[in-house]
Amino acid sequence: MTLSYPLIAGLLFGLYFSLVGIGLNLVFGVMRIVNLAHGDFLMLGAFVAFGVYTVMGLDPLVGVPIAFVLFWIAGLLFYWLLVPRLQRARDPEMLSFILFFGFSQVIEAITIIIFGTSERSIPSRELAASLGQLWARLFGGDADSGPFVILGESFPASWVIAAAVSIIAIGLVYLYLYRTRLGTLTRAVMSRRDEAVATGINVDRVSAAAFGIGLGLAAVAGVFAPFMFGSFTPAFGVDATVTAFVVVVLGSLGNPLGTALGGIVYGVCYMLVQTYLSSWADLLPYVLLIAILLLRPSGLLGRRARIA
């Protein structure tokens, strides 16, 4: 096997991992809240894709806007329910860790009670099948997209689509943060919360928006989870949370481009280890996480250290 396969597969997975991490990054950056339920929203996003495909009989890609809007609204609700009360506590960062752990347990338990513990999957070719048909009708050619060929190696079309959606999503987050008024306020809250309050920024409104977007992005990443990981269960939220953390810590907090870089570094490392040292691949995310936390706690693109 040549080196180009793990490198390109790593890049595709890496872009997707960036999408997995970016919502977590936004929420932590703005609110100093550790959303341990992040992976569970990903899992719920996977259920949205599953529902769109099996119940409504539509292309799972339709799940992307549905999941985003649904969880954006849910995020606003949960924000007002949980966060202001939490921020009044003595040590919100630590307590948020525990609070959202409880939340993650509740989500997982309710999902199991409703859907059971069985594994679910969606046939890989169904993703964006409608786009393929549209393409065929407009320009002629084969409706069945088949595997993508890049540099002589073939990859599942679903990987390429997930990576493309991830690039678009990260670009939109970048535009939101750097080209809109609310985004500018968001960055102000990220860099100095107390000064932002002092200048009259409505921190709660900014934070609620960021929380909604964070959950929405997690759900969008979840739509692709059945294709990237083969299948999903209600219990897969925990692993997804750890992965998201690795990606966020690898990049740096409060910097969407950092998360993109972190995701790519992680994805490429993951694919390289999987290809050449497969029995050690499980160890990689954890060792990488500890190493980066100890050696470069501010992340690859970070400026400030955050040591006690």
Partner 1 sequence: MPDTVRHYLLIAVPLLAVMALLPFGYNNHLLLFNFVIFFILAQGVNVIYGFTGYLPFGYVGFFGAGAYGFAVMVMHLNTPAWIAVLAAGLIAVLLGLLLTPLLRLSGAYFSIANLAAALAVLHLIANPALESITKGPYGVALSGTFNPRLAYNAALLILALTLGIVVFLKNSNFGLSLQAVREDPFSAAMAGINVVKMRVIAWLASALVAGLAGGTFAWYVSVFYPDNVFSADFSIFAIVFALFGGVATICGPLIGVIVLYGIYNMIGFTTPQYFQLIYGLLIMVLVLFLPAGLVSLATRRGWHVP
**Region binding partner 1 by CB under 8 A among candidate stretches 14-22, 59-67, 102-110, 179-187:** 102-110
For partner 1, the closer of residues 116 and 141 by Cβ is 116
Distance from C-alpha of 252 to C-alpha of 230, rounded to nearest angstrom: 29
User: In this structure, what token pair is assigned to residue 65?
Assistant: 């806007």
Q: Is 245 near partner 1 (CB under 8 A)?
A: yes
Binding test (CB under 8 A) with partner 1, winner from 2, 55, 57, 113: 113
Q: Is 151 near partner 1 (CB under 8 A)?
A: no
Distance from C-alpha of 235 to C-alpha of 109, rounded to nearest angstrom: 9
Strand partners, 155: 148
Distance from C-alpha of 205 to C-alpha of 127, rounded to nearest angstrom: 36
150 in helix, strand or coil? strand
Binding test (CB under 8 A) with partner 1, winner from 3, 56, 77, 109: 109
Q: Is 134 near partner 1 (CB under 8 A)?
A: no
User: In this structure, what token pair is assigned to residue 152?
Assistant: 């002589």
DSSP H or E run through 73: helix 63-87
**Region binding partner 1 by CB under 8 A among candidate stretches 7-15, 41-49, 68-76, 239-247:** 239-247
**Region binding partner 1 by CB under 8 A among candidate stretches 67-75, 180-188, 268-276, 292-300:** 292-300
Q: Is 285 near partner 1 (CB under 8 A)?
A: yes
Binding test (CB under 8 A) with partner 1, winner from 249, 250, 271, 273: 249
For partner 1, the closer of residues 56 and 77 by Cβ is 77
Q: Is 94 near partner 1 (CB under 8 A)?
A: yes
Residue 210 · residue 39 · CB < 8 Å: no
Distance from C-alpha of 84 to C-alpha of 204, rounded to nearest angstrom: 8
Distance from C-alpha of 140 to C-alpha of 149, rounded to nearest angstrom: 20
Binding-residue total with partner 1 (CB under 8 A): 46
Residue with tokens 């740096």: 252
* Other Cβ atoms closer than 10 A to 305: 8
**Region binding partner 1 by CB under 8 A among candidate stretches 101-109, 130-138, 145-153, 178-186:** 101-109
For residues 11 to 50, the per-residue mask of contacts with partner 1, x marking binding by CB under 8 A and - elsewhere, is: -----------------------x----------------
Q: What is the DSSP letter of 61?
A: G
Binding test (CB under 8 A) with partner 1, winner from 25, 104, 166, 259: 104
Binding test (CB under 8 A) with partner 1, winner from 70, 242, 257, 300: 242
Q: Is 98 near partner 1 (CB under 8 A)?
A: yes
* Residue 249 φ then ψ, to 5°: -70, -35
Q: Is 306 near partner 1 (CB under 8 A)?
A: yes
* Other Cβ atoms closer than 10 A to 111: 19
Query: By C-alpha distance, which of 23, 15, 5 is closest to 244?
Result: 23
Using CB under 8 A, list all residues that contact partner 1.
34, 82, 85-86, 89-91, 93-99, 101-110, 112-113, 238, 242, 245-246, 249, 279-280, 282-283, 285-287, 289-290, 293-294, 297, 306-308
